[in-house]
Amino acid sequence: MRALVLVAPGEAEVQDVPAPVAAPGDVVVDVQRAGVCGTDVELYTGEMQYFHDGVTTYPVRIGHEWMGTVSAVGEGVDPGWIGVRVTGDTMLGCGRCRRCLGGYQHVCAFRGELGIRDGRPGALAEQVAVPVTSLHRLPDAVGDAAGALVEPGGNAFRSVEAAAVAPGERLLIAGAGTIGLLAAMFARARGVDVHLLGRSERSLGFARSLGFAQAWSDDDLPDLPWDAVIDASNAPQLPARAVELVEPGRRVVYVGLAGSPSLVDTRAIALADVTAVGILSASPGLAGTIAAYASGAVDPTPLVAATVDLAHVPGILAGIRPDGAGPGPKFHIAIRDAPQDGQDQGVSR
């Protein structure tokens, strides 16, 4: 089968690799749609911290934002899964330790991470093998494009939950990329007064086209009381600024990560009685994200700039936007089927 393989820093190619076999407890999924995200770019460039930690080594088969249909099951797995449209969790805990048994498998010290850490090849491939315990069914109301946006949506969903903002309260989201925009969508669906802080006029203009009129640059950010701040950026100075901006007694949520350490004065946190929350993964938010997509409360598909085939992925990882791509921040890969969603206007094959 065909799969996208990172062979060295800055080197990616589509290769023929052995098809996966469903081990006991696993299923094989025929991948239909997969996304490319910032983590994949960090793996491509070699900047990902996991290389320094020794938990990821080249070659890497990436892809952790995906959906598809179960085509085979391993020993001990209900055959009723065959033919079911699914997506799956990226974080694969050991299932035995204290954290896993307590519902914190996404921070298991022994976890695998699909398409990120060594051990589980990712879903930018025609097929992927995953534990049945990681699966989430996709209802018919969640199309392929939305299904492949469940994983980033889960991070955004959790960020909004952690911000603890009520309808009518004011939320500032720093970062107008995929996670920031998805968080804005989830917050808007809850009746929250959403504001976005971005860096480029292109990203701010796109946010406004999605109905977020209150999209600001650093130069024109209004001096308002912010009931919560979500930092979905990769700017190293924004974690500290978020603490300065948020109202005393409220919350700052950190879901974005800078490439270098960020310094936050804990005195500012303590003296303003601010709660700081970190979000690592989508895991606890996947079910809520699927429900929001299925109900129509949130439609993530306008974020997809183009849907292309595997051959275009090396260029995307290198920062090349496909011909005809729209203004959105997300690129999708149609692994098996031609794109069918109305939003896939910028298809390049």
How far, in Å, CA of 197 to CA of 231, rounded? 9
pLDDT reported for residue 343: 43
In angstroms, the Cα distances linking 294 to 140, 238, 270 are 8, 34, 40
pLDDT reported for residue 259: 80
Place of tokens 């804005």: 184
Which of 257, 254, 69 lies closest to 148 in space, CA to CA?
A: 69
Using DSSP, state whether 183 is helix, strand or coil: helix
> Tell me, what amino acid is at 42?
E
pLDDT reported for residue 337: 61
pLDDT reported for residue 258: 86
How far, in Å, CA of 232 to CA of 254, rounded? 7
How far, in Å, CA of 163 to CA of 228, rounded? 6
How far, in Å, CA of 122 to CA of 66, rounded? 9
How far, in Å, CA of 279 to CA of 348, rounded? 34
Using DSSP, state whether 133 is helix, strand or coil: helix
- What stretches in the chain show pLDDT beneath 70? 337-349
